């Protein structure tokens, strides 16, 4: 019987890619060692050089895998807190998190709310986030002590079921780039904008296409559209766009 979870788990992003990096590191180093052992007596110099080359390539795979692991387990959580703090929530807001996955932003927002509520929407793809499901997100919320302040619902980001002007704050982290075509991504950003109340604020964090999101928001009439860089996560430049609705 599986042990019951006692700690929240926000999952590993791109789990297959991380696994592939560690597998490649293992194979590259193993091949280097094998080549060295087979040839070391007849050609000690070249076989030692080859071992060095294989180990260096293996180390690059290890470093990428390790960075991806750190990004999912540590970097993403630190950035989540920095970005949510910067929104300065008062506590009574209705917050919508698009592509919430295991509830990272939804729960982070709920922890900053008193009478407000946070809703997370997703389609729960396990390909892009390990262990992804609404039940796992609900369990995380319970373990974080905010089960009564959150709601998780299934929805496509490109076609939200919510009426327009129904949320004070709309956030999305690392989700919209998963929509493969520009039209779909634009639609998701426009949907986010549509459900936002006048006076509301929107924040998107992503590793690709953040400039596109900013353009869509400006076209939709957003005020104070600000793009900011947050260094590298998953070995990729990570940016946010923040906008306000008048
Ligand atoms: C990398 S995960 C990020 C999850 C969470 N925001 C976080 O930062 O931990 C991306 C999420 O976007 C969701 N997603 C991608 N495309 C979607 C779509 N068209 N509609 C709803 N959810 C989508 C995936 O199911 C996944 O949970």
Is the four-CA dihedral 2, 119, 241, 123 of positive or negative sign?
positive
Q: Mean pLDDT for the chain?
A: 96
121-154 per-position pLDDT tens digit: 999 999 999 999 999 999 999 999 999 999 999 9
What is the biggest distance separating any 2 CA atoms in the chain, rounded to whole angstroms? 77
Read off φ and ψ for residue 120, nearest 5 degrees: -110, 135
Token pair in block for residue 228: 């900011």
The residue whose CA is least distant from atom 13 of ligand 1 is: 99
pLDDT band at residue 1, thresholds of 50, 70 and 90? low
Residue 99 Cα: closest atom of ligand 1 = 12
Distances (CA, A) of 200 to 16, 46, 133, 244: 37, 65, 28, 6
Read off φ and ψ for residue 194, nearest 5 degrees: -60, -40
Ligand 1 centre to CA of 147 (Å) is 20
User: Residue 5: what pLDDT?
Assistant: 86
196-206 and 167-173: which strand pairing? Answer: parallel
Q: Which residue of 17, 106, 107, 123 sits with most ligand 1 atoms within 8 Å of its CB, as the best mutation to test the pocket?
A: 123
Query: What pTM, to 2 d.p., does this model score?
Result: 0.94
Ligand 1 centre to CA of 220 (Å) is 23
The span from the CA of 86 to the CA of 125, in Å, is 29
Ligand 1 centre to CA of 175 (Å) is 4
Count CA atoms closer than 13 A to 84's CA, side-chain side: 26
The span from the CA of 91 to the CA of 195, in Å, is 19
Ligand 1 site residues, Cβ closer than 6 angstroms: 10, 13, 76, 99-102, 104-105, 122-125, 128-129, 132, 156-158, 173-175, 178-179
User: Residue 223: what pLDDT?
Assistant: 83
Residue 155 Cα: closest atom of ligand 1 = 21
């Amino acid at each position: 019987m599986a042990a019951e979870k006692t700690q929240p788990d926000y999952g590993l992003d791109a789990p297959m890619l991380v696994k592939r990096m560690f597998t490649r590191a293992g194979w590259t180093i193993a091949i280097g060692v094998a080549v060295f052992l087979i040839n070391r007596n007849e050609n000690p110099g070249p076989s030692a050089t080859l071992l060095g080359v294989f180990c260096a390539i293996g180390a690059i795979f290890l470093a990428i895998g390790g960075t991806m692991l750190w990004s999912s387990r540590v970097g993403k959580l630190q950035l989540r807190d920095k970005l949510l703090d910067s929104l300065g929530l008062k506590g009574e807001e209705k917050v919508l998190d698009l592509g919430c996955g295991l509830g990272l932003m939804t729960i982070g927002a709920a922890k900053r709310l008193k009478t407000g509520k946070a809703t997370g929407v997703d389609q729960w793809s396990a390909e892009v986030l390990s262990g992804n499901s609404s039940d796992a997100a609900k369990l995380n919320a319970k373990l974080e002590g905010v089960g009564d302040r959150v709601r998780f619902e299934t929805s496509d980001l490109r076609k939200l079921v919510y009426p327009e002007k129904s949320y004070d704050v709309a956030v999305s982290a690392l989700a919209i780039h998963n929509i493969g075509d520009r039209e779909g991504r634009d639609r998701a950003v426009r949907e986010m904008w549509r459900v936002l109340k006048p006076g509301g604020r929107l924040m998107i964090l992503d590793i690709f296409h953040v400039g596109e999101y900013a353009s869509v928001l400006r076209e939709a009439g957003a005020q104070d559209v600000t793009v900011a860089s947050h260094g590298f996560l998953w070995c990729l430049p990570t940016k946010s766009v923040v906008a306000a609705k008048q």
